[in-house]
Structure 1
Amino acid sequence: MTSARPPRKKLAAPRRATAGSKPPARKSAARKSAAPRKPRGGNPISRFFRSALALIWRLTWGVVWRGMAMVMLILGLATFYFYTTLPPLAEMLDNRAQGSVTMIDREGEVFAWRGETFGGAITASNVSPHLKNAIVATEDRRFYRHLGVSPRGIAGAIRSNLSEGRSAFSGAGGSTITQQVAKLLCLGVPYDPTVWDSEASYEADCRRGTLWRKIKELPYAFALEAKFSKDDILTIYMNRAFLGAGSRGFEAAAQRYFARSANEVGPAEGAMLAGLLVAPSYYAPTRNLERAQERAAVVVELMYEQGYLDEFEYAEARAHPATLSQRAEEQQGIAFADWLMLDAPTYLARETTEDVIMRTTFDPRLQAATEAAVEKVYADKVREGSQAEVAVVVMSADGAVRAMVGGRQAQTGGFNRAVQAVRQTGSAFKPFLFAAALENGFQPFDIVEDAPLTINTPGSGPWSPRNYDGEFRGFVTMSEALSESLNTPAVRISEAMGRDRVREVANAFGLRSELAEGPALALGASESNLLQMTAAYAGILNGGSAVRPYGIEELKLLGDSTPLFGVSTGIGERVISERSAQMLTWMMSRVLEDGTGRRAKLPNREAAGKTGTTQAARDAWFIGFTADYVAGVWMGNDDNTPLTGVTGGGLPAEIWRETMIRIHEDVRPRPLPMVAPERSRSEATPPPTQTAPRAAPLDDAIRGILGSLFGGN
């Protein structure tokens, strides 16, 4: 049986290609590859440049992306580093190196601040929405949309700076609120007093707008954005920003300018506060309210344009701009507050690192009355263009200072003439001479001679005192010598007792500056300031005891209930007897009744005082008291040039009178604590053309001394 075979394929030779037929694909490809390659477009030179450009691009792109990667790595590491060093939010709200001093008047109201006042922490969640919106609208309208840095804002700031001829990073900075917080935190660098001269220089360094500073701000800003919410960052900003007048943070500023919390301000007040951020001292409303209102109007416009105010709120804010509270507008007690900062312990005042609360003796009603009196007399009696300055002090008999004027223009940190001007006292010194005389047995009606007198002083030669008017009155009583401010009788009494005794009494009353050594001691050749002189007169009113002027009743740290110290009176040790003080008070009352201080006489109220005019009228004084208050007035030129037509019995007496009338409004008149001498003045005083009788003779020893002095003159 044979097997079946598969059919055989028919053998055929390969078909030869004919014209027009398509060759097999593989052979065609082989022929193509075997064909010579044509050069790709252009000549060798163009090919060379194209190749070079391609190489440069590949190299550049390689460097760029690697550089960018490196920058991003460094930026990320720096951001992570700052992120790990950022403290908790609560620790970043108040990091002042300097503390504050808050001063409270006798009515319990705040009247002055010194140092950097914080006011308390606020948050973006509880602050007034008008204030929050004003800050965002003014400082960073895209605050809630960016990641901490605004390239558009930086580019716009650079363009603005260059167009105005400044360098790229001088002037406008284009900083976001986050970047400003980075500056306020000084990129985490704490204040070190061993590195910076002051906190001001430290902050100036933190605010530098250099390129390197801008670069360092970036990772810090990113770290802030990574660690805190937007509202947290805004909270830091609202608590750390400086807003003028010693206010650190918006809560302190709102209390300072408007006497209310930052949680309660309306659109107009919020706009004024936000407007301070660009230049706090320049736009401070306490410095120039109109300028602050103009700046606030710009902020209100921004708030309206960005949809934060509706039509009604916008119109209301424009029609009724923010104004200062009455307390802030009056700016009372500037000189008083400056004095307390000098008088208090340095570590609790000028250099305090704590927040200090001072309860003071300051009386705002008396301060307003005093300022009004000075203003009235200057407006009515002082020629226009006069440079004559003035100082006034009002205190109680125990030395509690109630009001103080340190000059015609009140300015924080300015020259306080009531405390810092040390000038010759002139005849205002004489009550202490007569106090010593009364304590040593003299009586108001004892007779003393007013006649030419020459005293030879070793090393200085002969010296002859003269009266202000150049006239001599013959024999006069001690009371008359004081009321008419006669010089030769004062010198005779001083020489009779001994200058050491006069200095001893004056020192005990608080005039502790170096007193004159020569006979001119009796005429007030020594120097003192107005505060010391007024306190010394208070010693006469209170019955003859020394007085230390004081303004702080209680001092404590903020948050503490226990005071660090307190003062209830300034009365010290007795200097002269109460009877001597009462007789001296009677003698000084005659100064106002019929002496050199007649222009100071008060209607329906007993008062006593003394005028004082120094050589060439360089200084003019009037100091006096009622049963309730002691007041001192000084006038003079800061350059110590003579006054024109001013004596102690003139303008100072009138300022004193106007002050006393005002501060005694609604105060029931009380008699002065004085004792009139037994013998009447009419019996003791001889007619001007007669020889004086021996009325109320001195004891033999004193009369012998006076006789030796009077003889031959």
Structure 2
Amino acid sequence: VSLEGMKWAKPLNGPMRGKVPSKVSQVLEPGDVIYVEPMPGKEDQFRLRQVPEVSGALVAMDPQTGRVVAMVGGFSYDQSQFNRATQALRQPGSSFKPLVYAAALDNGYTPSTVVLDAPLEIDTGSGGIWAPENYTKKFYGPSTLRFGIEQSRNVMTVRLAQDVGMPLIGEYAKRFGIYDNLPPYLSFALGAGETTLLRMVGAYAMFDNGGRKIQPTLIDRIQDRYGHTIYKHDSRECRGCDAEKWANQSEPVLVDKRERVLDPMTAYQITSMMEGVVQRGTATVVKEVGKPIAGKTGTTNDEKDAWFIGFSPDLVVGVYLGYDKPRHLGKGATGGVLAAPIVRDFMKVALADKPAVPFRVPAGIKLIRIDPKTGMRAGPGDQRVILEAFKPGTAPPDNYSIIGVTDAEGRPLGVSPEADRAVRNGGGLY
């Protein structure tokens, strides 16, 4: 084992990590019994391994059927029979936020709706005050819903949850199978409730498949001793699939009568926003897969858990990492730093022989050029432009209004053209 194979073994001093070792003696002493693994592409070369203290889980799922195609419940079954994918109740943190945004998009909001990202204090009763914070401790002023997802802005999400209402968000959480009964407190909009990785991956599968209800399963079908199928998980009917030969008949049709939990256009909007998380947000490391990928990071309070759930059009993969008895993972231990690279590495292999298929745009969606800062329609000479998805009857706003800034009667406050220009030029409105 050379120094190259143990440079990762930086000493831990509480939540802080020490320097990269410069010689083998800083890591090992004569007589140490160690774990090793072969170094890829280097014959007779090994690198140092260790039994990890941090645990975690991975679930990969077919979003069309809910079939679990891969599951890892921990480092070693011999070491622990506890399946963290199905049994560990953990806070999903910001990976829950897409449910908040989906509830908003399904009820009249658009990806270019602007919400105020500025300090907020909420009276919790009995004299208590809750002041949610962003992970970076910074505020960006008025920002679009897309920006809120891409950069995982906590205060924007709380303001949006205030506007939408926690009872509605709780209904969506139940509909998607994440929680059976979400308490109507704003902190739960930031993923403060406990759930399992399997439930979270199942919820993201419903974003991926256009909003159809799926039930995660490990069983495809059950047959009796005569070969007759007595149970089949995939209930979709394929009309015309049993033809023995081609006789100029119509093409086979897959009839899907499953419950719809989300408008397919809303599902595409939130998927497009989560593509931005990978392209320019908190999970840019996943771009290395080289295929269309959407997803969302999650980091809980005090960096106790790190999440990332990502998906292509035909595969959903979720990972969480954390100690079995939750404690601080270390400074900077976010979902984008710890969990996203694992999903990236898994998807690189899983999608290696698959074509780069874009997410399907539902009929009726309009793609309009907008200014990503203001959410308003982009002008002919604008340089900073993205294509945003709008439903029929919606469009970029003609004037600048902000959720979180109201007039004396509680209506969203309109902003003057001069303020519009200030915001376009990078100025903040607080």
Q: Same fold (TM over 0.5)?
A: yes
Q: CA deviation at 1:582?
A: 0.6
- Structure 2: gaps (5+ residues): 1-38, 41-45, 237-255, 377-395, 414-429
Equivalent in the alignment of 2:123: 456
Equivalent in the alignment of 1:642: 328
Equivalent in the alignment of 2:370: 680
Q: Indicate how the Cα distance of structure 1 residues 576 and 613 shifts in structure 2: closer, same or farther if over 3 A, else same.
A: same
Equivalents in 2 of 1:654, 1:390: separation in Å?
14
2:149 to 472, 475, 482: 482
2:55 to 364, 389, 392: 389
Say yes or no: does 1:667 pair with 2:334. Answer: no
Equivalent in the alignment of 1:367: none
More strand by share: 2
Q: CA deviation at 1:460?
A: 7.4
Equivalent in the alignment of 2:228: 562
Equivalent in the alignment of 1:529: 196
* Partner secondary structure for residue 444 of structure 1: coil
Q: Indicate how the Cα distance of structure 1 residues 438 and 699 shifts in structure 2: closer, same or farther if over 3 A, else same.
A: farther
Equivalents in 2 of 1:487, 1:611: separation in Å?
13
Say yes or no: does 1:656 pair with 2:323. Answer: no
Q: Is the 8 A contact 1:422 1:528 kept in 2?
A: yes
1:597 to 283, 295, 299: 283
Q: Indicate how the Cα distance of structure 1 residues 696 and 477 shifts in structure 2: closer, same or farther if over 3 A, else same.
A: farther
TM-score by length of 2: 0.69
1:447 to 111, 114, 118: 114
Of the two, which has the highest radius of gyration? 1
Equivalents in 1 of 2:306, 2:155: separation in Å?
20
Equivalent in the alignment of 2:393: none
- Structure 1: gaps (5+ residues): 1-371, 374-378, 687-693
Q: Is the 8 A contact 1:617 1:643 kept in 2?
A: yes
Equivalents in 2 of 1:656, 1:679: separation in Å?
31
Farther off after superposition, 446-455 or 409-418: 409-418
Q: Indicate how the Cα distance of structure 1 residues 527 and 562 shifts in structure 2: closer, same or farther if over 3 A, else same.
A: same
Equivalent in the alignment of 1:495: 162
In the TM superposition, 1:224-235 aligns within 5 A as none
Q: CA deviation at 1:565?
A: 2.0
Q: Indicate how the Cα distance of structure 1 residues 413 and 472 shifts in structure 2: closer, same or farther if over 3 A, else same.
A: closer
In the TM superposition, 1:240-259 aligns within 5 A as none
Q: Is the 8 A contact 1:447 1:477 kept in 2?
A: yes
Q: CA deviation at 1:410?
A: 3.3
Q: CA deviation at 1:576?
A: 1.9
Relative CO higher for 1 or 2, CA cutoff 8 Å, sep ≥ 6? 2
Q: CA deviation at 1:532?
A: 0.5
Q: Indicate how the Cα distance of structure 1 residues 707 and 577 shifts in structure 2: closer, same or farther if over 3 A, else same.
A: farther
* Partner secondary structure for residue 650 of structure 1: helix
Q: CA deviation at 1:700?
A: 11
Q: CA deviation at 1:628?
A: 1.5
Q: Indicate how the Cα distance of structure 1 residues 590 and 706 shifts in structure 2: closer, same or farther if over 3 A, else same.
A: farther
Equivalents in 2 of 1:599, 1:483: separation in Å?
13
Equivalents in 2 of 1:428, 1:420: separation in Å?
18
Q: Is the 8 A contact 2:158 2:189 kept in 1?
A: yes
Equivalents in 1 of 2:94, 2:180: separation in Å?
17
Equivalent in the alignment of 1:209: none
Equivalents in 1 of 2:408, 2:300: separation in Å?
26
Q: CA deviation at 1:666?
A: 1.0
Say yes or no: does 1:510 pair with 2:177. Answer: yes
Equivalent in the alignment of 1:585: 271
Q: Is the 8 A contact 1:544 1:578 kept in 2?
A: yes
Q: Indicate how the Cα distance of structure 1 residues 701 and 486 shifts in structure 2: closer, same or farther if over 3 A, else same.
A: closer
Equivalent in the alignment of 1:115: none
Q: Aligned residue pairs: how many?
A: 328
Q: CA deviation at 1:435?
A: 0.3
* Partner secondary structure for residue 634 of structure 1: strand
Q: Indicate how the Cα distance of structure 1 residues 412 and 449 shifts in structure 2: closer, same or farther if over 3 A, else same.
A: same
Equivalent in the alignment of 1:610: 296
Q: CA deviation at 1:684?
A: 2.9
1:438 to 95, 100, 105: 105
Deviations 1:642-679, CA, capped at 9 Å, x for gaps: 21242101120000000111101211121112567524
Equivalents in 2 of 1:706, 1:566: separation in Å?
59
The alignment-based identity, stated in percent, is 35
Deviations 1:84-132, CA, capped at 9 Å, x for gaps: xxxxxxxxxxxxxxxxxxxxxxxxxxxxxxxxxxxxxxxxxxxxxxxxx
Equivalents in 1 of 2:127, 2:220: separation in Å?
48
Deviations 1:189-233, CA, capped at 9 Å, x for gaps: xxxxxxxxxxxxxxxxxxxxxxxxxxxxxxxxxxxxxxxxxxxxx
Q: Is the 8 A contact 2:221 2:231 kept in 1?
A: yes
Equivalents in 2 of 1:482, 1:537: separation in Å?
15
Q: Is the 8 A contact 1:432 1:506 kept in 2?
A: yes
Q: Indicate how the Cα distance of structure 1 residues 698 and 550 shifts in structure 2: closer, same or farther if over 3 A, else same.
A: farther
Please provide the CA RMSD for this pair: 3.3
Q: Indicate how the Cα distance of structure 1 residues 400 and 459 shifts in structure 2: closer, same or farther if over 3 A, else same.
A: farther
More helix by share: 1
Equivalents in 2 of 1:543, 1:696: separation in Å?
30
2:211 to 541, 544, 548: 544
Equivalent in the alignment of 1:247: none
Q: Indicate how the Cα distance of structure 1 residues 442 and 707 shifts in structure 2: closer, same or farther if over 3 A, else same.
A: farther
Q: Indicate how the Cα distance of structure 1 residues 554 and 492 shifts in structure 2: closer, same or farther if over 3 A, else same.
A: same
Q: Indicate how the Cα distance of structure 1 residues 706 and 498 shifts in structure 2: closer, same or farther if over 3 A, else same.
A: farther
* Partner secondary structure for residue 612 of structure 1: strand
Equivalents in 2 of 1:468, 1:709: separation in Å?
29
Say yes or no: does 1:408 pair with 2:75. Answer: yes
Say yes or no: does 1:625 pair with 2:315. Answer: no
Q: CA deviation at 1:386?
A: 4.2
Q: CA deviation at 1:573?
A: 1.5
Q: CA deviation at 1:455?
A: 0.9
Equivalents in 1 of 2:136, 2:152: separation in Å?
11
In the TM superposition, 1:307-346 aligns within 5 A as none
Equivalent in the alignment of 2:386: none
Q: Is the 8 A contact 2:60 2:68 kept in 1?
A: yes
